[in-house]
């Protein structure tokens, strides 16, 4: 059969990386979709990621950095309402609900944002369930949020149902592939309540009451993948190497001196004519301690033919720091964090290089915030806030804004003097509005203008008095 891709003396002219030559014949990755990979090993991947978060210094620090940079002190909504009284009413209702938003009673809504961002980094996904409350049970909007970890939804649970519906990785779909429900465990499978049986009966929760926060990496992906996935092996190997190196140095440091004996002293002479018995040793038995712990000014009494030598062990070598640096660079790239952030070592680069890395990382964080956290968490929560507010009577139609803007956390200036000067020039040249400049600082222009006006009024009132 004629093969148009095999020309010129039978040699393939296709992609070199797609061949099966000597260099790549062992490089044969699986061709499964990411959903199949998650079903096969997603639970183990998540467990290892959580272990590194809990036990490894670099791993835990990475999650702390991501959590802080993405959320900070909170992504705060601001209603676009012209009427000042309606705006203040909305903000007051929001603040009341914000303080009691957590169904577990531990965090406010901004604290939940931080927790969800961390879960999405470590486990690759997080679930948020709307919990409706009776109006008399709360002094704010009668609903709360309950955060579920990834383990609450079994990745191996598949089932075919009637009417074309099916369950895949714990998520129920209709015949069109739209999400209908989530089949959660009633409690975390690794943290069962006292008195409960081992087998957990799943609970079906409608998709309208669940938010699934995840960052899909390919089309058709239905469950999240930990951001540690590419860094788990390097982190584990680096941690093991450091532990072994530390243990080797600890054991080596426990030995101080060694007592040596020559052959004549031990009676093992090479002279075949030497038939004389060796002199009896005055050294204690093997079971006794040869020397007391060394102290300042210790004097050691030696027998004839004995010598004392200090024990010296091999050092880690001059390549240890360079090797550590390359490994941390690899881990930083895998986690998407700047080296200076992950290692807490800014000495490896000059100011310009570190600043460039920080700006690039902030752009990455902003992209994740605007494309994942805001549309999957912030907007649905505000929409539920409006719906419940109208149904409960705490909000009137005039209080519901046509649009809500979200203020990301303030990012500190790297070089305040230069950054302020740059913003000032952009405003003068009308390359940026005050609204945009203040939003980049996590501030709302209406709030700022109102505070400036109040301060100006108070200033003139004090002077006239």
pLDDT exceeds cutoff 60 at 155: yes
Q: Are 148 and 127 within 8 A, CB to CB?
A: yes
SS (H, E, C) the chain: CCCCCEECCCEECCCHHHCCCCCCCCCCCCCCCHHHHHHHHHHHHHHHHHHHHHHCHHHHHHHHHHHHHHCCCCCEEEECCCCHHHHHHHHHHHHHHHHCCECCCCCCHHHHHHHHHHHHHHCCEEEEEEEECCHHHCCCCCEEEEEECHHHCCCCCCEECHHHCEEECCEEECCCCCEEEEEECCCCCCCCCCCCCCCCCCEEEEHHHEEEEECCCCCCCCCCCCCCCCCHHHHHHHHHHHHHHHHHHHHHHCCCEEEEECHHHHCCCCCCCCCCCCCCCCCCCCCCCCCCCCCCCCCCCCCCCEEEEECCCCCCCCCHHHHHHHHHHHHHHHHCCCHHHHHCCHHHCCHHHHHHHHHHHHHHHHHHHHHHHHHHHHHHHHHHHHHHHHHHCCCCHHHCCCCEEEECCCCCCCCHHHHHHHHHHHHHCCCCCHHHHHHHCCCCHHHHHHHHHHHHHHHHHHHHC
Query: What gap in Å lies between CA 261 and CA 307, rounded to an integer?
Result: 7
| Out of 14-28, 47-61, 266-280, least confident range | 266-280
| Out of 9-13, 65-69, 142-146, 261-265, least confident range | 9-13
Q: Put the strands of the sheet holding 125-132 in their side by side order.
A: 143-148, 125-132, 210-214
pLDDT exceeds cutoff 60 at 2: no
- Give me the pLDDT at residue 393, please: 92
Query: What gap in Å lies between CA 453 and CA 465, rounded to an integer?
Result: 18
pLDDT exceeds cutoff 70 at 277: no
- Nearest by Cα to 187 from 144, 223, 151: 151
Query: What gap in Å lies between CA 108 and CA 209, rounded to an integer?
Result: 19
Q: Which two tokens stand for residue 317?
A: 């070598």
Q: Which two tokens stand for residue 116?
A: 């969800």
Average pLDDT value for residue range 277-284: 54
Query: What gap in Å lies between CA 129 and CA 206, rounded to an integer?
Result: 10
User: Phi/psi of residue 222, each to 5°?
Assistant: -115, -15
Query: What gap in Å lies between CA 109 and CA 97, rounded to an integer?
Result: 8
Query: What gap in Å lies between CA 180 and CA 208, rounded to an integer?
Result: 8
Domain ranges of the chain: 30-243+336-411, 256-310, 415-465
Residue 6: alpha-carbon gap to chain centroid: 48
- Give me the pLDDT at residue 287, please: 46
Supply the pTM of this predicted model: 0.81
pLDDT band at 3 (very low <50, low <70, confident <90, very high): low
Query: What gap in Å lies between CA 290 and CA 258, rounded to an integer?
Result: 10
Query: What gap in Å lies between CA 64 and CA 180, rounded to an integer?
Result: 34
Q: Are 236 and 44 within 8 A, CB to CB?
A: no
Question: Over the stretch 82-141, which tens digit does the pLDDT of each residue have?
Answer: 898 999 999 999 999 999 999 999 999 999 999 999 999 999 999 999 999 998 888 899
Query: What gap in Å lies between CA 141 and CA 96, rounded to an integer?
Result: 8
SS (H, E, C) 20-50: CCCCCCCCCCCCCCHHHHHHHHHHHHHHHHH
- Nearest by Cα to 304 from 351, 259, 252: 259
- Give me the pLDDT at residue 55, please: 94
Question: Over the stretch 221-235, which tens digit does the pLDDT of each residue have?
Answer: 999 999 999 999 999
Query: Cα angle vertex 302, ends 298, 307, to 5°?
Result: 95
Strands 76-79 and 404-407, by their bridges, are antiparallel
Query: What gap in Å lies between CA 10 and CA 3, rounded to an integer?
Result: 10
pLDDT exceeds cutoff 80 at 40: yes
Q: Are 220 and 204 within 8 A, CB to CB?
A: no
What percentage of the chain exceeds 90 in pLDDT?
50
Is 447 or 222 the better-scoring residue by pLDDT? 222
Q: Are 271 and 263 within 8 A, CB to CB?
A: no
- Give me the pLDDT at residue 192, please: 76
| Out of 200-204, 234-238, 435-439, least confident range | 435-439
- Give me the pLDDT at residue 284, please: 53
Average pLDDT value for residue range 5-12: 51
Question: Over the stretch 297-319, which tens digit does the pLDDT of each residue have?
Answer: 666 677 777 777 777 766 666 78
Q: Which two tokens stand for residue 443?
A: 């501030």
- Give me the pLDDT at residue 177, please: 93
What is the total residue count of the chain? 465
């Amino acid at each position: 059969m004629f093969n148009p891709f095999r020309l010129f003396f039978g040699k393939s002219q296709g992609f070199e990386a797609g061949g099966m030559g000597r260099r790549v014949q062992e490089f044969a990755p699986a061709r499964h979709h990411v959903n199949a990979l998650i079903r096969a090993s997603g639970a183990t991947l998540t467990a290892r990621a959580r272990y590194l978060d809990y036990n490894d210094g670099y791993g835990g620090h990475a999650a702390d950095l991501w959590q802080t940079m993405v959320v900070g002190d909170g992504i705060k909504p601001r209603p676009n309402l012209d009427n000042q009284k309606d705006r203040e009413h909305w903000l007051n209702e929001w603040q009341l609900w914000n303080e009691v938003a957590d169904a577990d009673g531990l965090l406010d809504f901004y604290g939940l944002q931080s927790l969800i961002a961390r879960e999405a980094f470590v486990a690759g996904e997080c679930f948020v369930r709307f919990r409706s409350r009776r109006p008399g049970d709360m002094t704010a909007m009668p609903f709360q949020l309950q955060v579920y970890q990834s383990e609450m939804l079994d990745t191996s649970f598949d089932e075919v149902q009637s009417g074309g519906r099916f369950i895949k990785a714990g998520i129920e779909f209709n015949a069109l592939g739209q999400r209908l429900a989530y089949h959660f465990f009633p409690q975390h499978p690794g943290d069962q309540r006292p008195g409960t049986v081992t087998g957990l009966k799943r609970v079906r929760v409608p998709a309208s009451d669940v938010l699934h926060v995840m960052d899909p990496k390919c089309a058709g992906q239905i469950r999240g993948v930990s951001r540690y996935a590419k860094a788990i092996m390097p982190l584990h190997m680096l941690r093991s190497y450091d532990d072994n190196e530390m243990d080797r140095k600890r054991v080596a440091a426990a030995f101080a001196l060694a007592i040596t004996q020559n052959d004549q002293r031990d009676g093992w002479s090479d002279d075949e004519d030497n038939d004389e018995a060796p002199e009896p040793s005055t050294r204690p038995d093997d079971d006794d301690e040869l020397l007391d712990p060394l102290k300042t000014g210790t004097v050691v009494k030696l027998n004839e033919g004995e010598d004392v030598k200090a024990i010296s062990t091999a050092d880690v070598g001059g390549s240890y720091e360079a090797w550590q640096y390359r490994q941390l660079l690899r881990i930083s790239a895998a986690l998407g964090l700047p080296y200076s952030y992950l290692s807490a070592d800014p000495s490896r680069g000059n100011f310009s290089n570190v600043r460039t890395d920080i700006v690039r990382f902030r752009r990455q964080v902003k992209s994740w915030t605007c494309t994942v956290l805001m549309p999957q968490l912030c907007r649905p929560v505000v929409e539920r806030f409006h719906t419940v507010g109208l149904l409960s009577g705490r909000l009137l139609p005039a209080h519901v804004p046509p649009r809500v803007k979200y203020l990301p956390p303030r990012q500190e200036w790297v070089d305040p003097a230069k950054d302020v000067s740059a913003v000032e020039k952009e405003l003068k040249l009308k390359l940026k509005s005050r609204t945009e400049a203040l939003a980049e600082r996590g501030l709302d222009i209406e709030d700022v203008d109102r505070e400036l006006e109040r301060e100006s009024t108070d200033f003139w009132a004090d002077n006239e008095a």
